[in-house]
């Protein structure tokens, strides 16, 4: 989050801001217009064609962009490293439906991570690399299997 704040201030983008994606934004980007567990299966690929995970990574992180991207050109949404989301962790409410629910925020609230990891003892099995799979980590946790992806939020009236 500090990286995003600094990048926003350096870039001086007016009403635009870099930030971490919410859980829902991350999943939407990961799916790339599909509704399958892994974006590659919609195109007839296997998970190993689009992701580094326990089954093909040699239990270490791999260079970005070696697997196939999703339909929107995003690489490594499944596997390789877990990615922080903006949302604090909360259990999904039974029967509740929302297009972009926000988890509780605050410095002591654990955060949701998405995507699955490839490296070390924390390499994700196949089922943890689904578009909808989520884990939780404490703020301040770090490791070689944990990273982030940022987005540039455009305010209304600034969509040039």
Q: Architecture of 23-89+103-148 per CATH? A: Alpha-Beta Complex (3.90)
pLDDT in tens, the chain (160 residues): 899 999 998 987 778 899 999 999 999 999 999 998 888 888 889 999 999 999 999 999 999 999 999 999 999 999 999 999 998 887 766 655 555 556 555 556 789 999 999 987 779 999 899 999 999 999 888 888 899 999 998 875 555 5
Q: Are 13 and 150 in contact (CB under 8 A)?
A: no
pTM of the prediction?
0.86
Domains in the chain: boundaries: 23-89+103-148
60-84 b/e with 16+ CB inside 10 Å = b?
ebbeeeebeebeeeeebbbbbbbbb
């Amino acid at each position: 989050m500090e990286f995003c704040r600094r990048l926003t201030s350096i870039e001086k983008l007016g009403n635009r801001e870099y930030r971490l994606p919410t859980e829902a934004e991350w999943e939407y980007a990961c799916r790339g217009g599909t509704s399958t567990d892994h974006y590659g299966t919609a195109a007839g690929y296997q998970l190993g064609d689009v992701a580094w995970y326990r089954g093909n990574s040699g239990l270490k992180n791999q260079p970005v962009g070696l697997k196939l991207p999703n339909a929107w050109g995003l690489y490594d949404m499944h596997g390789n490293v877990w990615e922080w989301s903006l949302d604090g962790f909360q259990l999904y409410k039974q029967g509740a439906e929302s297009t972009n629910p926000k988890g509780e925020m605050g410095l002591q609230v654990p955060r949701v991570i998405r995507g699955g990891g490839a490296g070390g003892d924390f390499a994700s099995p196949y089922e943890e690399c689904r578009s909808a799979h989520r884990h939780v980590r404490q703020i301040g946790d770090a490791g070689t299997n944990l990273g982030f992806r940022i987005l540039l939020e455009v305010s209304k009236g600034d969509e040039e």
